[in-house]
């Protein structure tokens, strides 16, 4: 496998904080990413990588701006509270 660490950075698993869930571009803004869990939210995600540490599958989606990602996070919280 080619060493791509110069161009990407690891996106850590939000569940355990240890595993490398996926790689994102080195210049990507963390705030543009939203994670989806539990499984009934996976249909909203772009990809569903599996954490190599804890084995959990977490949906990940990138938004164009931090504002859009924040809106989505708030919408998700609202959905989960109902
Ligand atoms: Zn994990």
pLDDT confidence of residue 38:
87
Residue 18 and residue 11 in contact, taking contact as beta carbons nearer than 8 Å: no
Distance 61 CA to ligand 1 centre (A): 17
Q: What is the pTM of this model?
A: 0.84
Q: What is the pLDDT of residues 56-79, one digit of tens each?
A: 999 999 999 999 999 999 999 887
Distance CA 56, CA 70 (A): 23
Q: What was the pLDDT predicted at 5? A: 74
In a domain, 3, yes or no: no
The answer as to whether 48 is a domain residue is yes
- What is the spatial distance between Cα 20 and Cα 2, in angstroms, rounded to a whole number? 17
Query: CA-to-CA distance for 15 and 71, rounded, in angstroms?
Result: 21
| DSSP label of 26 | T
What is the domain range of residue 72?
8-81
Residue 1 lies in a domain: no
Residue 42 has pLDDT above 90, yes or no: yes
Residues within 5 A (CB) of ion ligand 1: 13, 15-16, 19, 51, 53-54
Q: What is each CA distance from 11 to 58, 69, 81, 82, in whole angstroms? A: 11, 16, 26, 29
Total structural domains within the chain? 1
């Amino acid at each position: 496998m080619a060493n791509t660490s110069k161009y990407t950075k690891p996106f850590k698993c939000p569940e355990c904080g240890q595993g490398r869930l996926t790689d994102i571009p080195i210049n990507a803004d963390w705030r543009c990413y939203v994670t989806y869990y539990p499984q009934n939210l996976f249909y909203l995600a772009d990809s569903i990588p599996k954490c190599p540490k804890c084995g959990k599958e977490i949906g990940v989606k990138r938004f164009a701006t931090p504002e859009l990602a924040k809106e989505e996070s708030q919408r998700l919280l609202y959905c989960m509270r109902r």
